[in-house]
Amino acid sequence: MKSIATRTGRHCLSLPSNRLGLYLALRHWCRPGQRLLMSPISADEILFLVLAAGLRPVIAPLSPRDGNIDVSRVDLSMVDAVLTTNLYGLPDHAPAFAGKILIEDVAHAMESSIDGRPLGTFGEAAVFSLSKHPGAGSGGVLAVAEESDLRALERARDELLTPGSFRADLIGVATSMARQAALKLDLVRPALALMRALGMQEEREGYRIALDPDGLERVLKEVPELPPFDPWVRADLHDYRARRGRLARWYQSRRLAKVPADRGRRLAGVARLAELPTAAPAVRDHADQPLFRVPLLVRDRDAAIAELERRGVATGYLYDPPYDDYAPAFTEASPDPAPARWWARHVLPVDPVYADRSLAALRDLEPPTERPPGPAAGTPSTP
């Protein structure tokens, strides 16, 4: 956590998960009923956290260049707050949201920056994930500018924490270590087969968890409260609110300390993947940043995923369909959902740290035959 505090120059609060930090930040700075601008492409649980905070999700148009909010096509006068995604580490245009309550989700962007300024330093709050770049399996950090906010958020955190246990921490650490070993030893394919055989993967409808609209309607009557939303928010991390013990905290610190050492490998992978004709345009703009994943835009994404898995390369972090189609009854629709649908259908996120294992298959992939929709498809989406 000290490294994040040093990087951002902010006060930091340790958390069992990134998602708990996002809820705390939304509740602290926003009032129920306010309108929150957010990307149509992000993890399932993010939408449910916004709803749990009592906010109205306003879905932004998406830029096909980077999969983030297209700031050239939003009317900020119509919203109260903004939640950035920084998808796969490609930075949102945070400076464009000045004057609004800005919460930065930097789960994918621990080491990304804008003109040399680290992400996580632009908004009222930023939430980091220790399960992404560090690969710790769990853990989050909430970074804020004012110590008074830190103390209030610490009290709010403690009210929401559930009891943890040494056994749960031990299982979590062992699972994460096994995952890291499988990656290093190129054993992803048998590891995936074992996880599926043991039923260790969350059931999904395609790439999203089941929405259960009737159940969601019922718990919306209890906002702003987080526990009623646990069945949705806890997907793939059932103990996202559980207090972590000494073992888990030690392991998280150990994994976080390894991030700088992995930076060179990550940058080298980004540079190699950026040369592919399928790389998203913004990847070339940010090839000097250690991205969490490198988004490629390919013709037959699902066939590519199957081929990569056959070669022992797992693909994750797919957010398809966009929120407009996933939960239309619970969001305010984007003025132009077509770019998000195109992106969600074609994006293939690749881990740059293990780029060498996938390049042989990736070189054969072709870009989509149809051009990305939207007037900003061919140019950077800056104001």
User: What is the distance, to the nearest Å, from the Cα of residue 312 to the centroid of all Cα atoms in its chain?
Assistant: 23
Rounded Cα distance, 97 and 91, in Å: 13
- DSSP at 162: B
- In this structure, are residues 50 and 330 in contact, taking their beta carbons and an 8 Å threshold? no
Residue type, position 49, single letter: L
In angstroms, the CA 33 to CA 67 distance is 27
Fold adopted by 263-362: Aspartate Aminotransferase, domain 1 (3.90.1150)
- By C-alpha distance, which of 98, 284, 277, 117 is closest to 106? 117
For every residue of 110-124, which 3-state class applies, written as one string? CCCEECCEECCCCCC
| Structure token pair of residue 222 | 């209890």
Tally: H helices and E strands in the chain:
15, 11
Cα separation values, 327 from 8, 57, 83, 287, 357, Å? 34, 10, 18, 34, 36
**What residues have CB less than 8 Å from 270, skipping those under 6 apart?**
283, 287, 289, 290, 291, 294, 352
- Give yes or no for a contact between 133 and 259, defined as CB atoms under 8 angstroms apart: yes
Q: Are 47 and 329 in contact (CB under 8 A)?
A: no
Predicted local distance difference test score (pLDDT) of residue 115:
95
DSSP label of 81: E
pLDDT along the chain (383 residues), means of 10: 93 98 98 98 97 98 97 96 98 97 98 97 98 95 98 98 95 88 74 58 83 97 96 94 96 95 96 97 96 97 92 90 97 96 97 93 94 62 43
CA pair distance 281, 293, nearest whole angstrom:
14
Residues 6+ apart with CB under 8 A from 68: 39, 62, 84, 85, 86, 87, 90, 91, 92, 93, 381
* The two three-digit tokens of residue 51, written as one number: 């709803």
Q: Strands (DSSP E) along the chain, which ranges?
A: 11-15, 35-38, 56-59, 81-84, 101-105, 113-114, 117-118, 125-129, 140-144, 294-297, 347-350
Residue owning tokens 């708990």: 20
The type of residue at 337 is P
Tokens of 305: 């995923």
Query: How much is the pTM?
Result: 0.93
Which residues have CB under 8 Å from 288's CB, separation 6+?
A: 267
* DSSP codes joined into one string, 16-55: S-HHHHHHHHHHHH--TT-EEEE-SSS-HHHHHHHHHTT-
**Taking the mean position of all CA atoms in its chain, how far away is CA 85?**
6
Q: Would you state the pLDDT for residue 383?
A: 38
- Quick one: which of 114, 94, 92 has its CA closest to 42? 92
